[in-house]
Amino acid sequence: MSDADTDRVSRYAEAILEVARGEGALDAVDDELLRIARALRDNRELHDALTDQQLPAGRRLEVIDRILEAAHPATRTAMALVVTAGRVRDLSEIARRVAERAAAERQRELAEVYVAVPLDDDRRDRLRQALERVTGKDLELKVFVDPAVVGGVRATIGDTVIDGSVARRLDEVRSRMGG
């Protein structure tokens, strides 16, 4: 990402943070934006619809309103900003930046965690404690279910990746076997 891209992403993230703070919805917005970014990454048809500059902005906003009915209004406002500005391709980075800044405001560091099945509150808390022991940091977990993990956990904390997933172990076995 170029410096200009990084600056642009930071400006959008800051604008979204201001909206979220103003609405008292920082927790909802940072979480929902990450989930929306992930959903767009996994749903090519939706991603293409929202990035299609031939589609009028009003039509793209209708799509956002329809799929985000349950989202906080500040999240819908943030998405409207991103969609009308034609920055949907930057959404993953904008959402990550918003979540990092929101976590920092809570004196925590963002940990994106991928698991194969949903975690209940107890398992989630034990996982957070284990990752905090390993990293020595106070963490704010954003947990995503990703069947590609197969089992175990893959966590990204800043530039650090902790990959205890079954998928990684299977890849290692395949490599050792020459395939």
Instruction: Dump pLDDT digits (tens) for 92-119.
Output: 999 999 999 999 999 999 999 999 999 9
Look at residue 157 and tell me whether its pLDDT is greater than 70: yes
What pTM value is reported for the model? Answer: 0.86
**115 bridge partner residues:** 145, 153
What does the angle CA 19 – CA 21 – CA 27 come to, to the nearest 5 degrees? 105
Flag the least confident range among 99-108, 132-141, 166-175.
Answer: 166-175
Give the per-residue pLDDT at 173.
Answer: 87
What are the CB-based long-range contacts (under 8 Å, 24+) for 2-10? 5/90, 8/87, 8/90, 9/90, 9/93, 9/94, 9/97, 10/97
- The alpha carbon torsion through 41, 150, 27, 60 (nearest 10 deg) reads 20
Look at residue 133 and tell me whether its pLDDT is greater than 80: yes
Look at residue 32 and tell me whether its pLDDT is greater than 80: yes
Mapping DSSP to helix (H, G, I), strand (E, B) and coil, where does residue 141 land?
A: strand
What does the angle CA 96 – CA 25 – CA 145 come to, to the nearest 5 degrees? 45
